Amino acid sequence: MIVTIDGPAGSGKSTAARALAKKIGYEFLDTGAMYRAVAYYCLCNSIPWEDHSAVAAALPKIQLDMPLGRILLNGVDVSQEIRSSQMAEGSSKVAVIHAVREFLVAQQQAIGRGRRIVTEGRDQGTVVFPEAELKVFLVASPESRARRRFEDLQKRGETVSFEDVLKKQYERDKRDSERAEGRLVAASDALTLDTTDMSIEEVIELLIREVEKRC
Ligand code: C5P
């Protein structure tokens, strides 16, 4: 069985997907980390995220491995480096490139094939696993999403203002929602859940009930 959890930044999907996978004994796939790793590779190799042909040409040099919730880029663990606000912006810029999506979608489908997996991202229920047994789309108010992200970045030691996080989030949502492929949109058969006033525990409980209904 495949469970997809899609939604915008800060909707709680990472935390919910990771915790759900643990509770039900499924594997967990964080597809945003893959876009972030591509952006990080470009940064380290002075390839501008906006230079679509240079980014596409670099893809054969990128090897991603995702053991136990970590991400290795050409054998080096970059799990921490990719979490910065700079990589949030970079990942959404490389995510508009057709070759990047083709490259990562194929890997995600290979990882999920024949497995019991909870996978999270933007296009998991629409493009990557349209046959998934349970599709969830999480939403939350822009302010509550930015608040969660602001707290995460503060914990990481980044000096950011709430206003700036909100503004960057707006720009990223716009890029993610308006691109040609793999847009941020709920699958027609997804269960949409507004997490604005829900605790993470409530979200997880609800998701477990939905999984149980399908077993
Ligand atoms: O979820 P996360 O914030 O880590 O995702 C970073 C970026 O990667 C998103 O803003 C989006 O542009 C891109 N992404 C995507 N498709 C996915 C997952 C992430 O385009 N399945």
Give backbone dihedrals phi and psi of 111, rounded to 5 degrees, phi first.
-65, -40
Give the model confidence (pLDDT) of 17-59 as tens digits.
999 999 999 999 999 999 999 999 999 999 999 999 999 999 9
Residue 215 has pLDDT above 90, yes or no: no
Q: Is the ipTM of this complex over 0.85?
A: yes
Q: Is the CB of 122 under 6 A from ligand 1?
A: yes
At 124 the pLDDT is: 98
Which of 13, 29, 30, 31 has most ligand 1 atoms within 8 Å of CB, for mutation?
A: 31
Q: Which residue has the tokens 């040099």?
A: 61
Q: Is the CB of 101 under 6 A from ligand 1?
A: no
- Among 4, 14, 75, 82, residue whose Cα is nearest residue 43: 82
Minimum-distance ligand 1 atom for the alpha carbon of 6:
21
- DSSP label at residue 124: I
At 69 the pLDDT is: 86
- Quote the Cα angle for 169-32-70, to 5°: 130
Rounded average pLDDT over 162-183? 95
- Expressed in angstroms and rounded, the spacing between residue 111 Cα and the centre of ligand 1 is 17
172, amino acid identity: R
At 29 the pLDDT is: 97
At 68 the pLDDT is: 85
At 204 the pLDDT is: 95
Which of 14, 35, 40 has most ligand 1 atoms within 8 Å of CB, for mutation?
A: 35
d(CA 34, CA 107): 10
Rounded average pLDDT over 183-205? 95
Share of the chain above pLDDT 90, in %: 94
Q: Is the CB of 91 under 6 A from ligand 1?
A: yes
Tell me how far CA of residue 54 lies from CA of 41, 145, 166, in angstroms. 12, 33, 30
- Expressed in angstroms and rounded, the spacing between residue 95 Cα and the centre of ligand 1 is 7
Minimum-distance ligand 1 atom for the alpha carbon of 108:
21
Contact status, residue 59 vs residue 99, Cβ threshold 8 Å: yes
Give the model confidence (pLDDT) of 87-110 as tens digits.
999 999 999 999 999 999 999 999
**Mean pLDDT for the chain overall:** 96
Rounded average pLDDT over 124-137? 98
